[in-house]
């Protein structure tokens, strides 16, 4: 097609394609901003929105109290360990001293020291009693810490059950939210795709085609980037089913379009040569000739063979002779390339009417 265009027209078309891409880029930016804000219409939910507070709050209070009690018991246990250590050291030192004194007494065998023996024995009993009390205090703090840990563990287990149930409800709600947000995307994207399809069928060759193609690119981007990746999967079933449906619809459309095209071509090939060349556009005919195919049936033709004046497939005239200089030329040319005479080819009657008076004068 570009080979049949004027040089300025080529650059204008390239510029218009840039306009189409720029228009599509701005539309894509606006659409992405709108689609990105769609999740904000739904409130962000968390496990706390679905947990049973009447059961969870007392358990959390129990856990907090158990943690505090355990921490306090740990501090008291450390103090009790220090006291027990000190009591044991004092008791051990006292027993060693008493043992040494007792050995000395047996060696000297002094009866007047019996009173001191009784006093020393009582002192040892007191130290042993303090050691036992420190041991009991340590055991009590260990018991308190154990009770606190067990209470905390039981409360945490019950709370974990409630949290698991809340997470299950949260996941279910997130799936519903995801489905609603996808519905918002679909409600926004599907009309764009329908409008793009209508523009492609009706307006893609209009004078405002850059904006038409820009909108089409925007709609395709919105569909394949903003909608398809967020299609709910449900284990892949939905995506595969949607893919099958889309493939069937596109395939059916392609088959129907192909059959219609073949029917139109068959009907066109049955028409007279003059009518067929009138229905062909000038630029379309030149573009097909530049590709080495017949403008009528689009089948390959050896255009370099000077003996071929008609398409061997559909019979449409490809070459004729100038009525003035008899030079062989394309049947779709508006002027003779040898002498410049206006061709009598159909498709250029207005041009012939304009140029003919000038040639007669």
Do 113 and 104 contact (CB within 8 A), yes or no? no
Cβ-based burial of 181 (10 A; exposed 0-12, middle 13-18, buried ≥19)? middle
Contact 268, 279 (CB under 8 A): yes
How many CB atoms are located within 10 Å of the residue 184 CB? 15
What phi, psi does 293 have (nearest 5°)? -125, 160
pLDDT for 353: 37
Q: List C-alpha distances in Å: 336 to 1, 124, 232, 329.
A: 21, 138, 64, 7
pLDDT score, position 347: 40
The pLDDT value given to residue 345: 42
Q: What is the mean pLDDT of each run of 10 residues along the chain (361 residues)?
A: 60 82 86 75 73 83 85 82 79 73 59 63 76 81 84 87 86 81 82 87 84 89 79 68 84 87 79 75 82 86 86 86 87 86 56 38 33
CA-closest candidate to residue 182, choices 35, 326, 5: 35
- Domain segments of the chain: what residues? 1-226, 273-360
Strand ranges (E), 250-327: 319-321
CB 335 within 8 A of CB 343: yes
Q: What is the pLDDT of residue 286?
A: 83
User: Directed axis angle between helix 7-37 and helix 114-202, to 10°?
Assistant: 140
Contact 174, 45 (CB under 8 A): yes
- Paired with 321 in beta bridges are 328
Question: Using CA atoms, how far apart are residues 98 and 109, in angstroms rounded to an integer?
Answer: 16
| Cα–Cα distance measured from residue 138 to residue 79, given in angstroms and rounded to the nearest whole number | 8
d(CA 146, CA 140): 10
Cα–chain center distance at 327:
64
Give the pLDDT confidence score for residue 115 in this predicted structure.
Answer: 67
Its pTM stands at: 0.50
Which residues are registered as beta bridge partners of 329?
A: 320
Decide: 308 and 318 in contact? Cβ < 8 Å: yes
Q: What pLDDT sits at residue 334?
A: 84
pLDDT for residue 23 = 87
Residue count of the chain, please give it: 361
How far lies 34's CA from each of 38, 94, 189, 196, 352, in Å? 7, 86, 11, 19, 55
Name residue 328's beta-bridge partners.
321
Rg (the chain; Cα; Å):
50
How many CB atoms are closer than 10 A to CB 84?
20
Q: Which of 217, 277, 252 is nearest to 286 (CA)?
A: 277
pLDDT of residue 355: 37
Angle between helices 53-108 and 114-202 (to 10 degrees): 160
Strand, helix or coil for residue 328: strand
Q: What is the pLDDT of residue 265?
A: 77
């Amino acid at each position: 097609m570009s080979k049949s265009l004027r040089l300025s027209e080529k650059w204008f078309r390239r510029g218009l394609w840039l306009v189409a891409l720029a228009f599509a880029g701005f539309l894509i930016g606006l659409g992405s901003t709108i689609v990105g804000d769609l999740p904000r219409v739904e409130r962000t939910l968390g496990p706390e929105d679905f947990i049973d507070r009447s059961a969870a709050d007392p358990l959390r209070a129990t856990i907090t109290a158990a943690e505090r009690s355990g921490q306090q018991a740990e501090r008291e246990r450390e103090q009790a360990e220090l006291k027990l250590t000190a009591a044991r050291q004092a008791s051990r030192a006292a027993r060693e001293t008493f043992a040494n004194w007792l050995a000395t007494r047996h060696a000297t065998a002094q009866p007047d020291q019996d009173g001191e023996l009784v006093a020393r024995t009582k002192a040892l009993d007191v130290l042993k009693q303090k050691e036992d009390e420190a041991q009991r205090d340590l055991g009590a703090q260990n018991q308190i810490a154990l009770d606190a840990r067990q209470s905390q563990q039981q409360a945490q287990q019950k709370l974990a059950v409630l949290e698991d149930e809340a997470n299950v409800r949260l996941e279910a709600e997130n799936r519903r939210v995801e489905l609603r947000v996808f519905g918002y995307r679909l409600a926004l994207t599907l009309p764009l795709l329908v409008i793009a399809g209508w523009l492609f069928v009706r307006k893609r060759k209009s004078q405002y085609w850059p904006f038409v193609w820009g909108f089409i690119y925007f709609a395709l981007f919105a569909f394949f980037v903003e909608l398809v990746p967020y299609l709910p999967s449900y284990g892949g079933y939905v995506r595969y089913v949607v893919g099958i449906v889309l493939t069937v619809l596109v395939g059916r459309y392609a088959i129907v379009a192909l059959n219609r095209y073949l029917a139109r071509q068959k009907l066109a090939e049955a028409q007279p040569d003059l009518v067929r060349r009138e229905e062909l556009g000038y630029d379309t005919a030149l573009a097909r000739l530049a590709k080495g195919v017949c403008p009528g049936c689009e089948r390959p033709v050896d255009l370099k063979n000077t003996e071929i004046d008609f398409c061997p497939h559909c019979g449409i005239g490809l070459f004729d002779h100038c009525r003035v200089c008899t030079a062989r030329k394309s049947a779709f040319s508006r002027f003779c390339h040898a002498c410049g005479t206006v061709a009598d080819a159909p498709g250029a009657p207005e041009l012939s009417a304009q140029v003919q008076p000038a040639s007669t004068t």
